[in-house]
Amino acid sequence: LILVPPPSSLFAKENLNRMSERQLNLYDRLINEPSNDWDIYYWATEAKPTPAVFENEVMAMLREFAKNKKKEQRLRQPDLEYLFEPPR
């Protein structure tokens, strides 16, 4: 079994367009402040407890996304064109 950090770009593609400004700020902080992406992986998969400073609604959303309840194949990152699409 090979473990890789959660596909944050897939999470971003699915969620950024519907996040509030507050949630976007929380997400920005989450992906930019920790010095190690593996920490985010461990928190998202609940292998390690999330530090209080990052325990918020966006972390909860990421944990739900990481559970992959729909059993989607997430083998590749999305094309970056979604960043330039108008909001839905």
For residue 14, pLDDT beyond 70: yes
Structural element, H or E, at residue 32: helix 21-32
> How far apart are alpha carbons 71 and 88 in whole angstroms?
24
Which residues are CB-neighbours of 81 under 8 A, at least 6 positions away? none
pLDDT of residue 4: 47
Whether the full predicted model's pTM is greater than 0.85, yes or no, is: no
Number of H helices, E strands in the chain: 4, 0
For residue 22, pLDDT beyond 80: yes
pLDDT of residue 52: 97
